Structure 1
């Protein structure tokens, strides 16, 4: 497994593989890998000749009051998991590699970032779109895999790839959960024992919504009120948003009539956790 720390080395590695006629699968991450990340590597490994992982905590997707400085890190464990997953190259740049002192260029989308997490994190998706664009140009993948837990991010990447004519296939990996239903996340590491017990409220609230829809409830305001009341019955919780929306445009809906996305963000202690599911009226 090659470990590459500069853009030039990563581009040269990928260009050499391309000259040999090889294809590249790519999983971009911010490190602190868990089973969810490994599942994305498992998807990518059989799809191409080479499997590349990037580890970079991207500062441009954090606002000043967010957890950039405290974001968890364990590079040694990340590299161990990468090797066991069959990764052939790890791109491990630092901030100076990705954003030089005179960096001026950013990538923004008009509509998709205006919903869900974009409302409370206004700089986030511009940072995501910018760094992923850069990573695509550096790694030159044929396939890139992103987790569906960050459903809005996946939608934004797909739209960006379409709009900017990247010749890259984008694949979404299913949400990987703990035994009690909590979606796996690097931010789960922040949770105390008591907060961890409350964190199951997200997946259980989704289950509650599915149950109520199966019983015939279609009114989104009624469903959201039930979910919020349920979540706030758990200690250490504060609801950022609960949205029921169109799965492609992310525009809110008032009545569930077709396949619909339910997405939520909940502050549990210091951790901002997200979850989502696709639901239907039948």
Structure 2
């Protein structure tokens, strides 16, 4: 679970409010002969309890509510994250920071990264997602667009250490991440259908599991390795990065990419008023 409460269970008060809001919404749709105004739709989501919104989703406890991205406090959290990166932290300390601070927006900013043109219909995040019983994925992001659901398997490596060689080739840290992702890919080719059992543990009460989650279509799978900082990458690194994405569908990023993506989304997509530098 991403959150402190179980959104698969609603209080009686939440159920009553949801029922009332739903009734008003249905009346407006009937009055407008199946349609609904933008104002009516806005009022529906404005008055709907957050818990009810989560409850309606495919995975209630993994649903990413866009409104949570609009919090100005996220910028403060992002500054704390930058300080942590500057202290020589490990990947485990990064995972702990994101978990404790509920700073999932840092990882989900990948939805705003080329080539991931999905997640704008609905998006979910899973931390420490199990590929039984061989591997644990640091984060699995699931997003939907008009073509259905797509998946980003994310491996976090250290922001420090042997990120690249002196001439810009991938160093031991990045190579370790790539090897891990390649192992996931082999596992998924053999066992993808078995993930249905894993997803069922997260599944809510309102929707069946879509086929994309247990019938393998590798065009829907994407891989990301995050390692190092911007200063570790040079033109040769970026060249190797492009080759890897083209040949193996693995995107290598540095942690400053996540920071830049997060700031861009906060400022431009979610219109959060950020302090001037």
Q: TM-score range by the shorter chain?
A: under 0.3
Structure with the bigger percentage of helix = 2
Structure with the bigger percentage of strand = 1
Q: TM-score, normalised by structure 1?
A: 0.27
Q: Which structure has the bigger radius of gyration? A: 2
Q: TM-score, normalised by structure 2?
A: 0.27
